[in-house]
Amino acid sequence: MKNTQQTQPLISIKDLVAKYGDKTILDGITVDLLPNEITVILGGSGCGKTTLLKNILRLYEPYSGTLRYWGQDVLSMNEEEFSFVLKRIGMLFQNGALLNSISIYENVSIPLEQHTKLNREVIDRIIRVKLNLVKLSHAIHLFPSELSGGMKKRAALARALALDPEILFCDEPSAGLDPLTSAALDELLLDLKSQLNMSIVIVTHELASIHRIADKIIFLDSGKMLFYGTLQAAKEAGIPQIDTFFEVGKF
């Protein structure tokens, strides 16, 4: 399953500005994210990480700038056109964002029932596989309120993976998880990348996780992008904020 678009950026962001009212949150972000890589967006609290993620997903409309997926300008697309893009991407929200009134099984089945014409048996198998990937086979009929925080997050990941997205976005996937669960989640993300050529964009603070999985990092500080490149290069770049971030986070 070799990707023929290797040379083309997966997501191309140019001069992206995001504002809440008059307050500028992101100021002129320009970056090309490449396929089959795990890109980690990091920086201190309030630097605009989640805002960047939500602007990339058009959950917030950028104030100005351009945003391209697979070379296509998505900011000029209407809702229907953008929905075709959305079907190719998956999003894991910070708190899972599962629908509380339905079971885990039904949560994972939503995208499969809404966006495919597969029969029930095939959908059933896909759901079982996706829940098995996140080690939640035993919780298939439970409701979100019956799950722990980590289980909710894993169930939400199964839902995000339901349609085999080409790009997976994760907002703080390891936050609140124990080290073992967090490491297992990282392993799963690495498997998804290597086995299925999935591209992954993650917002996280967890240094252990960043060291395990990051191919590239985007370092934000006060709404500006200070660095984009490999983790090693970031550490060698001599940027004081990055050095402090990794130094203070050492244990």
Partner 1 sequence: MGKPVKNPSKTSLAPLVQVQGDALILSGELIFSTVPAFGEQTSKILKKEKPVMLDISGVQRIDSSGVAYLEELQLALQSRKAPKAKEPKPGIFLLKGINDNTRPVLETFSSLKLPDIPMAEHISFFEGIGSGLVNGFKAFGESLVIAADVFFWSFYGLGNRSGQRKGSFVQQGVALGVQALPIVALLSFIIGFILSLQSAVQLRNFGANIFIADLLAVTMVREMGPMLTAIIVAGRSGSAIASEIATMQVTEEIDALKMMAINPVRYVVVPKFHAISVVMPILVAFSILVGELGGLLIAIGYLDLSLESFVNRTIEILTLKDLVVSMAKSIWFAWVIVVIGSYYGFQVKGGAEGVGKATTASVVASIFAVILFDALFSLLYL
Residues of this chain that interact with partner 1 (CB under 8 A) are 1-2, 69-70, 72-74, 76-77, 80-81, 84-85, 87-88, 100-101, 103, 115-119, 121-123, 125-126, 128-130, 132-133, 137-138, 140-141, 143-145, 163-164, 191, 194-196
Is the CB of 76 or the CB of 244 nearer to partner 1? Answer: 76
Which strand (E) or helix (H) includes residue 66? strand 64-69
Q: How far is the CB of 164 from partner 1 (least distance, A)?
A: 4
Q: How far is the CB of 154 from partner 1 (least distance, A)?
A: 16
Q: How far is the CB of 1 from partner 1 (least distance, A)?
A: 5
Residue 197, CA distances (Å) to 11, 159, 193 in order: 15, 18, 5
For residues 138 and 177, the answer to whether their CB atoms sit within 8 Å is no
Is the CB of 43 or the CB of 150 nearer to partner 1? Answer: 150
Is the CB of 22 or the CB of 121 nearer to partner 1? Answer: 121
Give the Cα-Cα-Cα angle 108, 113, 115 (nearest 5 degrees). 105
Which strand (E) or helix (H) includes residue 190? helix 179-196
Q: How far is the CB of 201 from partner 1 (least distance, A)?
A: 18
Phi, psi of 222 (to 5 degrees): 50, 45
Is the CB of 30 or the CB of 72 nearer to partner 1? Answer: 72
Phi, psi of 35 (to 5 degrees): -70, 160
